[in-house]
Structure 1
Amino acid sequence: MRLKKNHISCDVTLKEDLLLMRYMDLPKFIDMIRTGKLYLTSAVDFNDQLEGTLPESIRDSFLNDPEVVAAYGNLPIQEREYLNKIRTNISCWTKGTADNMALWKIYGGSKQSVAVMTTLNKIVQSAISWKNISSVALKDVIYIDHSGILPDGVYSLSPETFGLKHEAYSFENEVRIVITRDNNKTPSPMRLPIAINSFIEKIIVAPEAGAWFFDMVKDLSEKYGITAPVENSKLTRLVNHRDKINRKGV
């Protein structure tokens, strides 16, 4: 998808109708549908210490770039990377509609969790209305060996740095919304408005959640006027079948 609209850019490898899923726990889901806003974490808060760092193969050329020197002076590279993280907020999404049990456990956080489905175009339509930010970049994450050779491309501190992730995380198959706020001085999360009913394509309930939780998610959706359908995960039937076998074996 070729896009350069005002403050929004999008990697050309991403298609307008691409379906995306975000796994989340119940409090995050309630926060989204109650406020009609998308939560973006500060890049400072990522657990992966390689997030937002420059791969070894381009560090020297980056440090000697005249534009970089003009922007950062003689600051050590670690300080430049940290300053870049401070002004960056990110929302991570998974490409496609196939369930991933590992992602349910990592990002759902418990058996009682949900995934929200949307499309790339719906994110773009929401981003058009976002104010007081320097840029919105939709990044098709590339998984790399940070000590190896990079794929062809132009790499800088932001937002390109956050379109790179260590190959150990390739199972996440991510697309990222990367927000830059040049005037941001301290790391902080942010919430940006979305037209919630047009934004959410579908709500998926975790495979191990149980019928009571499915009903609760439907009730919550109705309470906040959400019109998107609520469905069980495609893995639910397999999980239920496994549980029946286990009970018979007891």
Structure 2
Amino acid sequence: MYINNPNIKLTDDEDIIVWKYLDLSKFLDMLMSKRLFMSRSDKFEDQYEGTFSEPTYEEIKKIAANNPKFLDYYKSHREKVVISSWHINEYESFAMWQIFTKNNEGLAIQSTIGRLKKALEPERKTEQHIGEVNYIDYKKEYIPFDDTFFPFLFKRKSFQYEREVRIISDVTTDNLKINDGLKIDVDINQLIERIYIHPKSENWYKNLVIELVEKLGFGFTIEKSDLESDILI
């Protein structure tokens, strides 16, 4: 269930377009289970996920000097926060295709901020929040810690190209044991507005995706990306 958190930065424009680039197996798993996978925050490739910048860490160490459990909490809390990452962009991103899909057989889900919110409404077990990631200099800039989600909504400037918006959830109070992540119930038809097939894929692959999606009972518009279309000279 989507919960609006006034402390978390998010655009008011619900028509802002967002994308998720993934391989076919993960996409089909989403359709078949009607669930969205959210990865455990400490399982991301970036080791800084859920950590603090240097100025913030120095302040936390001072607090922890008299309360050691304060620092221990932030270290262990990463295991209880799960995240689904989306890319904000009006258009497809060549870089995202390169990074998040393999063997020219990936695809991209196109959605909007408004659709993400509505798609989360069926979920009743855990609360989800949606927030834009802030990109900062971890050696100089401060990350506030008056909200437990803040460490997960900041990343180093090196990742600015991701233009990330996150669905984020804290399962601490749900007594859930999670390994690599957690699947949450979503309204798939609300979540997905359009599907784009990898720009370098063959026609048989597009036809396969269309056939599989139809057999699963969904009627999404499916197009092949035109990033690799023929030049006009």
| Same fold, TM-score > 0.5, yes or no | yes
Unaligned runs of 5+ in 1: 246-250
Residue 173 (structure 1) aligned with residue 177 (structure 2): no
For residue 206 of structure 1, the aligned residue among 195, 198, 201 is 198
CA deviation profile, 1:95-121 (whole Å, cap 9, x unmatched): 024222221122113310001111111
Q: Summarize the alignment of residues 98-247 of structure 1 with structure 2, pairs less than 5 Å apart.
A: 98-133=91-126, 135-150=127-142, 154-156=144-146, 158-182=148-172, 183-184=175-176, 186-237=178-229, 240-241=230-231
Unaligned runs of 5+ in 2: none
- Identity over aligned residues, as a percent? 24
Q: CA RMSD in A?
A: 2.6
- Contact persistence 1:8–1:127 (CA under 8 A): no
Give the superposition deviation at 1:88. 0.5
Give the superposition deviation at 1:18. 1.5
Runs of 4+ aligned structure 1 residues displaced above 6 Å come to none
- Contact persistence 2:20–2:86 (CA under 8 A): yes
Compared CA separation, residues 86 and 184, structure 1 to 2 (3 A): farther
More deviation, 123-132/161-170: 123-132
- Contact persistence 2:17–2:111 (CA under 8 A): yes
CA deviation profile, 1:66-86 (whole Å, cap 9, x unmatched): xx899xx41484x43431111
Distance (Å, rounded) in 1 between the aligned partners of 2:2 and 2:94: 38
**What is the TM-score normalised by the length of structure 2?**
0.87
**What is the TM-score normalised by the length of structure 1?**
0.81
- Contact persistence 2:119–2:190 (CA under 8 A): no
**Amino acid in the other structure paired with 1:155:** F
Compared CA separation, residues 197 and 167, structure 1 to 2 (3 A): same
- Contact persistence 1:206–1:236 (CA under 8 A): no
CA deviation profile, 1:7-28 (whole Å, cap 9, x unmatched): 4435243522211100001111
- Contact persistence 1:14–1:140 (CA under 8 A): no
